[in-house]
Amino acid sequence: MKIMLYSDIPPCLNYTAGIVLNKMCDFLLDANHEICCFYIESKSLDSVISADKKEKITFMRIIKPYESYGVILKGILGKLLSLLGNNYTAFIRLPKIIKQATVFAKKMK
């Protein structure tokens, strides 16, 4: 069976959720399942993916959109910037990410 993982972190060796996914992938790969992984990761993270996972799993990494627009400025300007930034993310960035995930999933059939 082919399994598609959608996550905010890949199966990796250096973050708790990634370590759990890494062990789950070991179990699935040992059972001869195919795995693909589409993940949206914060640009501040540096996930360490093991060599065997890089070889056996097809990955697609997307940088997580910025979310903290309101903290750049205080007061009414911060609220306005937050409104504009969050709407940009919701109406421009997220549809693009959804399209990328869809294209990736179709390629992995």
46-65: pLDDT as tens digits: 999 999 999 999 999 999 99
The C-alpha atoms of residue 14 and residue 8 are separated, in whole angstroms, by: 14
Tokens matching residue 39:
């993940």
60, 104 contact by CB (below 8 A): yes
User: What's the predicted TM-score (pTM) here?
Assistant: 0.88
Q: How confident is the model at residue 70 (pLDDT cuts 50, 70, 90)?
A: confident
Q: Where are the domains of the chain?
A: 1-64, 67-109
